[in-house]
Amino acid sequence: MKYNYIGKSGLRVTPICLGTMTFGTTTSKEEAFKILDKAYDKGINFYDTAEIYPVPPKASYEGTTEKIVGEWLKTKPRESIILATKVAGASSGWFVPCTRHGLTAIDSFHIKTAIEGSLKRLGTDYIDLYQMHWPDIIVPIEESMKAFDELVQEGKVRYLGTSNDNAYGLTKANEVSKYKDLARFESIQNNFSLLNPRFHDELANVCRRENISLLPYSPIGGGVLSGKYNSGLYPEGSRFGLYMENSSARVRAMADRFVNDKTIGATTRYIKLAEEYGISPVTLAVAYSKHFDFVASTIIGARQLSQLDESLAALNFELDDELIKNIEEIQKDILYPMG
């Protein structure tokens, strides 16, 4: 198995990370254990969760995913696992999490409250990678980074990361850390896929120059790149079918972002391209997401055990120059399908 370091940290992770955001809703605890066990048996050492999971977020079952992961964690040697979780971002941003009655912020109080809850639910003394789930546009980043640094000094967290951030936010945070001698963000967890290559525009440059790692999520576009939405209908029980039934306008808007004429058109071409190489479109999508030098580990997900194999097959598939050229042609013809 190949391993990559996350940023300048001592975290050495497999090129694929198992995400867990459906565990506790569309994925039962029993099925989650099967998925986790199979990934572990295949050599995957990196697992990602969050205090707000499972999704779509709902106050009544928030934290359930961490509890499931924590129960499973007891069946494995703790030091064999690189465990990542997140503190829910600010209610002042584009998304209002249910966490702490919708009043969460990336301030000292909420960061320290969140870590204690996550440690308890996960049944562990430390988190390997602790991430800010969304930037906070109100709380000064100096306060946030100081609070995160204190968790590192206390031994509750080994390293830090951010998520859903932009080039300015990532650079600003790490410049504050540099000049105040605080722990910095070693990673950024953003959406990056065949359907959403925007990370290339500027953040890839920041990551390369500052030795920060991308941990891409949604490498198969929330399931869109599997082709299951190409019929023009939302499959029964599908993620975006459920999102369209949600009372939140923000959640419904996310479904429109992932499933639209441009994403379906691009997916049709990627399916054909995958067929030419004798692989599934899921394998192609995951292989693309992990291909680049600024990526440490690509976060895959599976609601059912049967969905795992096609993603894990990307461990043994590398994109050649011709395939990259073909992908770039599609991306040029259908520019930014997700906006």
| pLDDT for the residue 74 | 98
How far is the C-alpha of 271 from the C-alpha of 106, rounded, in Å? 41
What is each CA distance from 19 to 16, 36, 39, 148, 231, in whole angstroms? 9, 10, 11, 23, 27
Alpha carbon 231 to its chain's center: 27
CB-based contacts of 277: which residues, under 8 Å, 6+ apart?
284, 323
| pLDDT for the residue 243 | 73
| pLDDT for the residue 232 | 74
Are 121 and 87 in contact, with CB atoms under 8 Å apart?
no
Which one, of 82, 1, 62, 75, lies nearest residue 34 by Cα? 75
Record the pTM: 0.96
Question: Considering Cα of 66, then 69, then 73, then 75, what sign does the dihedral take?
Answer: positive
| pLDDT for the residue 56 | 80
| pLDDT for the residue 94 | 66
- Burial of 155 (C-beta count, 10 Å sphere; 0-12/13-18/19+): exposed
Q: Which residues are designated catalytic?
A: 53
How far is the C-alpha of 50 from the C-alpha of 84, rounded, in Å? 8
- Beta strand spans in the chain (E): 4-5, 12-13, 16-19, 46-48, 82-87, 127-132, 157-163, 185-189, 213-214, 298-300
Per-residue pLDDT tens digits of the chain, which is 339 residues long = 999 999 999 999 999 999 999 999 999 999 999 999 999 999 999 999 999 999 888 899 999 999 999 999 999 999 999 999 999 988 666 678 889 998 999 999 999 999 999 999 999 999 999 999 999 999 999 999 999 999 999 999 999 999 999 999 999 999 999 999 999 999 999 999 999 999 999 999 999 999 999 999 999 999 999 998 987 777 776 777 667 677 677 777 777 889 999 999 999 999 999 999 999 999 999 999 999 999 999 999 999 999 999 999 999 999 999 999 999 999 999 999 999
80: DSSP letter: G
Are 229 and 259 in contact, with CB atoms under 8 Å apart?
yes
| pLDDT for the residue 93 | 63
A 10 A CB-CB count for 197 gives 20
Helix runs in 92-185, H state only: 99-102, 108-122, 141-153, 167-180
| pLDDT for the residue 141 | 97
Which one, of 74, 65, 14, lies nearest residue 311 by Cα? 14
